[in-house]
Amino acid sequence: MSRFTLLAIAAVGGLLLGAPSFAQSTGDTLKKIKETKTMTLGYRESSVPFSFLDGQQKPVGFSMDICQAIVAKVKQQLNLPSLEVKEVAVNSSNRIPLVVNGTVDVECGGTANNAARQKQVSFTVATFVSQPLWLVRNDAGVKKPADLKGKTIVVTQGSNAVGFARKFNDEHKLDLMTIQAKDHGESMLTLEGGRAVAWLEDDILLAGEKANSRNGASFALMPGGFDNIYYGLMLRKDDAEFKGLADGVIAGMMKTGEFDKLYKKWFESPIPPKGMNLNFPMTDKLRERIKSPSDKID
């Protein structure tokens, strides 16, 4: 190899070595808000119904409403009625780095709380309990998980379902063939096109895709015996004061019944932009969490 080649390798290597593993922001969120008089919410552009863009391209949703309640509490506690609230769009790859480095103070999306993520961020008490389900083509003749034997399924790249599907396949010896589509939209396209007979993903996401699909009636949801997944709002790690404030607001809403009203508004009524209704009644697991709010994961 020539001198230039070696130089190029050295340059890139040096760049990578010098790169910080994320500039860590200090944990004191309330102090930061007080000093800068601004608070930044992170929202998702299409995480229905938690946080998404409405017809006017404004972020709305279940998690956004909860976040507004937290903002109100922050204003009151810091005595800052003129607090400026910024909204920043985040996606599934950058949401954690942006919370960690201090760009976003609260992520108001639908993010699953798990042990790997807890190493980097912390979560409020659970605001939603999800469970992975199979969305199955009615014409595939699949009535129970065992019927999937030897069939082709689809999962979304980077989703937790990738691991679940693999474990499920190994445990039940189903010889599944797996397509990994780029995002949820393409997973649905793969299922609609008939390349796969079933799609494994969180129940609420599947309900949204099914409600949105032109021929939603030709798909059915099928349980697969997977563990529950707890969603929460994402906060910076090791900031007990701010987490206490956020948890207090959510627990208060759960106690007064305001949380149930919000749930009805976003999960069981027509929502913008097209007036789609998810018809997703509250699960028993979520009822338990409303009775005794907690950020525990099973």
Q: Which is nearer to another protein, 66 or 181 (CB)?
A: 181
Size of the site for another protein (CB under 8 A): 41
DSSP codes of every residue in 114-171: -HHHHTTEEE-S-SEEE-EEEEEEGGGT--SGGGGTT-EEEEETTSTHHHHHHHHHHH
Chosen residue from 25, 101, 103, 180 binding another protein by CB under 8 A: 180
- The alpha carbon of residue 235 and the mean position of all alpha carbons in its chain are separated, in whole angstroms, by 13
Q: Which is nearer to another protein, 103 or 178 (CB)?
A: 178
| Exposure class string for 114-152: b at 16+ Cβ within 10 A, else e | eeebeeebbbbbbbbbbbbbbbbbeebebeebebbeebb
Q: Is 112 an interacting residue with respect to another protein (CB under 8 A)?
A: no
* Interatomic CA distance for residues 241 and 244, integer angstroms: 5
Q: Is 141 an interacting residue with respect to another protein (CB under 8 A)?
A: no
Chosen residue from 30, 78, 80, 162 binding another protein by CB under 8 A: 162
Q: Which is nearer to another protein, 158 or 281 (CB)?
A: 158
Q: Smallest gap, in angstroms, from Cβ of residue 172 to another protein?
A: 14
Q: Is 215 an interacting residue with respect to another protein (CB under 8 A)?
A: no
* Interatomic CA distance for residues 163 and 218, integer angstroms: 27
Chosen residue from 14, 193, 270, 273 binding another protein by CB under 8 A: 193
Q: Is 263 an interacting residue with respect to another protein (CB under 8 A)?
A: no
Tokens of 213: 């699909």
Q: Is 224 an interacting residue with respect to another protein (CB under 8 A)?
A: no
Q: Smallest gap, in angstroms, from Cβ of residue 205 to another protein?
A: 15
Site for another protein in 12-31 (CB under 8 A): 12-13, 16-17, 19-22
Options 40-48, 161-169, 216-224, 245-253: segment touching another protein (CB under 8 A): 161-169
Q: Is 198 an interacting residue with respect to another protein (CB under 8 A)?
A: no
Is there a contact between 202 and 164 (Cβ–Cβ < 8 Å)?
no
Q: Helix count (H) and strand count (E) of the chain?
A: 11, 16
* Interatomic CA distance for residues 117 and 29, integer angstroms: 19
Q: Smallest gap, in angstroms, from Cβ of residue 163 to another protein?
A: 3
Q: Which is nearer to another protein, 64 or 122 (CB)?
A: 122
Q: Which is nearer to another protein, 185 or 281 (CB)?
A: 185
Chosen residue from 93, 217, 274, 275 binding another protein by CB under 8 A: 93
Q: Smallest gap, in angstroms, from Cβ of residue 120 to another protein?
A: 6
Find residue 135's DSSP bridge partners. Answer: 199, 221
Find residue 153's DSSP bridge partners. Answer: 178, 198
Amino acid at site 56 = Q
User: Nearest 5°: phi and psi at 27?
Assistant: -75, -15
Q: Point out which residues bind another protein (CB under 8 A).
A: 1, 5, 8-9, 12-13, 16-17, 19-22, 92-93, 96-97, 116-117, 120, 152, 157-160, 162-164, 166-167, 177-182, 186, 189-190, 193-195
